[in-house]
Amino acid sequence: NAGVTQTPKFQVLKTGQSMTLQCAQDMNHEYMSWYRQDPGMGLRLIHYSVGAGITDQGEVPNGYNVSRSTTEDFPLRLLSAAPSQTSVYFCASSYRGPYDAYNSPLHFGNGTRLTVT
């Protein structure tokens, strides 16, 4: 059982380049999300999805796009990379049940360390 798988682990981009961070989960979780982690700022939500075909913005969505065509996959696209997007990115998923009592905490992938020069 792989859980949440993120690729790549490391990436270096030049300013203006685009790329896609991949995230896949095999737990049949409806809820998936992307966070960025910067020193001293905790985790900030970029985008999230409550199911296939549904996405919504989090706290820091600018410069990022997402799509959710399947339950398993939730890729994050950087449209035109900027140095301010240098960060560690985490994908996470959670089970959301019909009642709050069934909801699970977030399960995290291993992260992608992105540097934009």
| For another protein, the closer CB: 82 or 108 | 108
| For another protein, the closer CB: 32 or 116 | 32
91-112 b/e (C-beta count within 10 Å ≥ 16 → b): bbbbeeeeeeeeeeebbbbebb
| For another protein, the closer CB: 18 or 26 | 26
CB of 56 to another protein, least distance (A): 8
- Chain residues in the site for another protein (CB under 8 A): 33, 35, 40-45, 48, 50, 56, 58, 90, 92, 94, 96, 100-101, 103-111
3-state secondary structure 21-45: EEEEECCCCCEEEEEEECCCCCEEE
CB of 30 to another protein, least distance (A): 11
CA distance 4 to 28: 11
